[in-house]
Structure 1
Amino acid sequence: MPTIISTINVNGIRAATGKTGKGMLEWLAATEADIICLQETRATDEQTRAALAPALDAGWFLSLAEPGAKGRAGVAILSRREPNAVRVGIGREENGTWVPSAEFGGTGRYLEAEFDDFTVASVYVHTGEADTPMQDEKYRFLDAVGARMTAQTRDFVICGDWNIGHTELDIKNWKGNIKNAGFLPQERAWVSSMIAAGYVDVVRELHPGIDGPYSWWSYRGRAYDNDAGWRIDYHLARGDIATRAKQAVVERAATYALRWSDHAPVTVQYR
């Protein structure tokens, strides 16, 4: 049956839901999405549930991976139906048991929810910084995520903030970012390797050959007004569900003042 999946880095769940008028809670009340992947919740289980209380009261189910460090990371999945299984932290299946990674299992950067005919994951990849230990950590995390992606045997959609612009079409100022984290050759090659392994960059597939559509804009300057953004929030899908994607939109707020995050929801309708 048709399924609509959204992904959005909320840049702090309490801040996003605390904005009045056109904030996250208003968006949740209006969205037609069936499943929503959230990143950078930056909150405990209790804080997240309190922030999302109106949505949970309206019937949404919440699965989440709390941040490993206070105020950093944290991912979640909201769904209109309860998942059959939830796996917290990047890891592997071992004799029917989920074994989280020793380094990344508790960092609040990966979460899977299994439904009847497919599995959805929410991922938040490190920002990184070129030629530093932070970038090395980002590569190790990508290796762990890649291993999980290639091990999947079910229809699978992994959504999130990847902090990587794959091609020159994905960053407005790509020339100025060639040596910066987010557009480094090794990062871009990793995305290419996942596509070679059978994953489909669904939004790019539905919007071929165009700049963007961007999903993140700096709060600084006039980046938003000038649409000087980055496309770093992806749906990567494999299996039958990848062939079912028929429409993809970035739900960009009409004005800077109406933003409730520095990212915008990226929403895909799967037939």
Structure 2
Amino acid sequence: MPITVSTVNVNGIRAAARKGMLPWLEATDADVVCLQETRADDGELTKALAPALDAGWHLASAAPSVKGRNGVAVLSRTAPDAVRVGIGADEFAEAGRYIEADFGDVTVASLYLPSGAVGTERQEEKERFMAAFAPYLTALASTAQAADRDAVVCGDWNIAHTERDIKAWKTNRKNSGFLPEEREWISALLAEGAPWRDVVRDLHPDVDGPYSWWSYRGKAFDNDAGWRIDYHLVTDALAERAKDAVTERAVAYDQRWSDHSPVTVSYR
């Protein structure tokens, strides 16, 4: 079954809806849209997305336990067959960082991996999440393969994998998001023989970016000084079906409705 999946960190669903996300939803060809950093409980999320839901979109969400932080969701044109929340780690059970939904023989997951700051508790939390998430991903791929299913885990991974994935890589080598150990963690997920593929990089092998996040500070967006941190990690069989991968960068700074851009992949 062909399926088009988009992922975007909305940087607050209520602000994104006011700034232009709803017209984007009306125009998108995506069958499934993964959202991160909704910063909303279920009621607030439903209210912000009411026009889209009235138009027929279905919503599954994992609300954050801390008001105004985190939150992930999956919007879809058809109702999911099943929905699961969390990665099986008690610490993150109610953190609003992971949700997955089944659509036929494809599992689509929305991930908001913690951001960090070197030498702080936030970085320690990020590392604990990474330690718990890697075996979860291994199990997810194994289960999917055994059931003749496919899986795509997309979202804000908060790690730029290679020098091609960040404009200012030389000045960020000691910063969270581009630390050697974080990059090695991604490399292990994508190693030869591992079950996951970075399909956006597969389809754009020799380019810088395409970046998906730009700081609101300074001229980062205007100068395309961005980071590619929004990924589709996909099991092998589905990766072979990935034909188009587009980062939907706004045409101008004042037309942005998030500091991230949607990353959309068509699987045929």
TM-score by length of 1: 0.94
Aligned twin of 1:149? 137
What is the deviation of 1:146?
1.3
Aligned twin of 1:221? 218
Match of 2:167 among 172, 180, 185: 172
Alignment partners' CA distance in 2, 1:163 and 1:242: 22
Alignment partners' CA distance in 1, 2:83 and 2:134: 19
Aligned twin of 1:89? 86
Match of 1:61 among 58, 61, 64: 58
Aligned twin of 1:25? 22
2:124 match: secondary structure: helix
Measured against aligned partners, the alpha-carbon deviations of 1:60-98 in whole angstroms (never above 9, x if no partner) come to 11000001211000000001111111011221xxxxxxx
Aligned twin of 1:121? 109
Alignment partners' CA distance in 2, 1:71 and 1:121: 22
Equivalenced residue count is 259
Question: Residues 197 and 239 of structure 2 are in contact (CA less than 8 Å); yes or no, is this contact kept in structure 1?
Answer: yes
Match of 2:121 among 119, 122, 133: 133
Deviates more, 1:161-170 or 1:134-143: 134-143
Alignment partners' CA distance in 2, 1:24 and 1:117: 29
Alignment partners' CA distance in 2, 1:253 and 1:46: 29
Measured against aligned partners, the alpha-carbon deviations of 1:216-264 in whole angstroms (never above 9, x if no partner) come to 0011111111100000000000131111001100001100000000000
Question: Residues 197 and 236 of structure 2 are in contact (CA less than 8 Å); yes or no, is this contact kept in structure 1?
Answer: no
Alignment partners' CA distance in 2, 1:199 and 1:112: 16
Task: Please give the residue correspondences for 1:73-112 in structure 2 after superposition, counting only pairs within 5 Å.
Answer: 73-91=70-88, 101-112=89-100
Gaps in structure 1 of 5+ consecutive residues:
92-100
Aligned twin of 1:232? 229
What is the deviation of 1:133?
2.2
Measured against aligned partners, the alpha-carbon deviations of 1:117-147 in whole angstroms (never above 9, x if no partner) come to 1101100011111122211210111122211
Letter in 1 for 2:258: S
Letter in 1 for 2:91: E
Aligned twin of 1:242? 239
Q: Determine if the alignment matches structure 1 residue 38 to structure 2 residue 35.
A: yes
1:179 match: secondary structure: coil
Match of 2:156 among 158, 161, 166: 161
Aligned twin of 1:97? none
Letter in 1 for 2:37: E
Measured against aligned partners, the alpha-carbon deviations of 1:5-54 in whole angstroms (never above 9, x if no partner) come to 000000000000012xxx00000000000000000000010000000000
Question: Residues 97 and 112 of structure 2 are in contact (CA less than 8 Å); yes or no, is this contact kept in structure 1?
Answer: yes
Aligned twin of 1:94? none
CA RMSD of aligned residues (A): 0.8
Aligned twin of 2:12? 12
